[in-house]
Amino acid sequence: DMWFQQDGATCHTARETIQLLHESFPSRVISRFGVKIWSPRSCDLTPLDFFLWGFLKSMVYA
């Protein structure tokens, strides 16, 4: 199953956006108004900063 994760930016928490996300990812939304409510500034919510960008950089500059 795929989960959708986003921060708490105002445009991400609009009623229409949240409704679409709940329809597309039922019970699998990590957001301010999602099933899993996590802080928008939590370092736990930014795994791309710790893995993906370093991995891509190593591939590009290798």
Summarised one tens digit per residue, pLDDT across range 5-35 is 777 677 877 889 889 988 998 888 888 777 7
For residue 37, the tally of other CB atoms under 10 A from its CB is: 11
- Tell me, what's the pLDDT at 41? 63
Summarised one tens digit per residue, pLDDT across range 25-61 is 888 888 877 777 766 666 565 666 667 777 888 889 9
pTM over 0.75? The answer is: no
- Tell me, what's the pLDDT at 55? 81
Please state, in angstroms and rounded to a whole number, the distance separating the CA atoms of residues 60 and 42. Answer: 28
DSSP character string of 21-62 = HHHHSTT-EESTTSSB---TT-GGG-HHHHTHHHHHHHHH--
Domain range annotation of the chain: 4-61
